[in-house]
Every structure is written in C-alpha cells, then in structure tokens.
Amino acid sequence: MLNPMYNKRVKATALIKGGPLAPKIRGIVYFKDVPNGTEVCVNISGLPEYKPASNGKSPIGPHGFHIHEYGSCDIGDPKDPFKAAGAHWNPTNQPHGNHAGDFPVLFSNHGKAMMCFFTDKFKVKDIIGKSIIIHENPDDYRTQPAGNSGKKLACGVIKAV
C-alpha cells in the first residue's frame, strides 16, 4: 500500500472511525519505519470545530491524539466510548508528556486535519495491535496519567500492511 501523502511504502495503518460523540470523523493514520524511528502521517475529516473554553467547560479542540494500549475500538458506553482501548500507551513508564503514545494535537480546519511527524520512541512493529484515539480536548501533556484530554471521539486499530 502506498502512502498518498508522500508516495512512500507504509508498514502499518489505522482506519479511524468516529464513535457516538462524533460520528462524522473518518480518516487514516500511516506508520512507516525510517532511520532511528517512525514517520507518522494522519489525514482526518469530520472533526468538530474549535470552541474555546467557557463557563468552566473545557475547550473543544485542538484534539488530543494518542496511541492507546489495546487494539479495541468497542464502543461500550455511548456516553464514554472506547474504554476498551485502555490508557495511553506508555511502555517505559514515563511521566505524561513523554509517553511513547503521546502525539501532537490535531487542529480542525473546517473539520480536516493533516500532518506528518517523526518520533524516535518506537518502531512500527512495537505498535501493531494497539489503537489510535482522537479526544475532544487538547492534551495538556502534564496531568497524570492521561493529559486531561477529555472524551474519546474516534478510534482505529493499528494493523500491519
């Protein structure tokens, strides 16, 4: 399978699908081994638009974006979906902000987000069978253990290509 963003061979993908709190979300995340780490590219549509924090409520967006420890996108409770995905993936027991599964936030541009980035915290073989979760709120990269990133909006299981 070729990555249409850079026409490079990919090693794993996660097809992202919105849950009951954001059913319009759809997209894909590509993972490719590169020297000394992994290239991650994401292409998402249907994200909720940004809403600033007000009246004691958290903002909606930018959206937290993480690898979670289990490869399950079972919805479970529709008011608190995707609990079966477990916590943020953190194989080396790092404080939050330095988890291997901590990714940059996704900014909704009229519902779309696209970006690529490099991480040296894992290789593709390490994440096969884990899941990707998109959250309602931005990750604060401080609060333990999960960054106060709010409700889980969308999920996809990472599969080898």
Domains of the chain: 2-160 (2.60.40.200)
Average pLDDT, the chain: 89
Are β-strands 37-45 and 65-68 bridged in parallel, bridged antiparallel, or unpaired?
unpaired
Give 54-87 pLDDT, tens digit per residue.
888 878 889 999 999 999 999 999 999 999 999 9
Residue 140 to residue 123: CA distance in whole angstroms: 25
Residue 81 to residue 55: CA distance in whole angstroms: 25
More confident residue, 34 or 1: 34
Q: What pLDDT was estimated at residue 145? A: 62
Cα dihedral 103, 107, 108, 112 in deg (nearest 10): -60
Mean pLDDT value of segment 28-49: 96
More confident residue, 144 or 121: 121
Query: The whole model's pTM is what?
Result: 0.89
Mean pLDDT value of segment 132-156: 84
Residue 18, sorted as left (phi over 0), alpha (psi -120 to 50) or beta, turns out to be beta
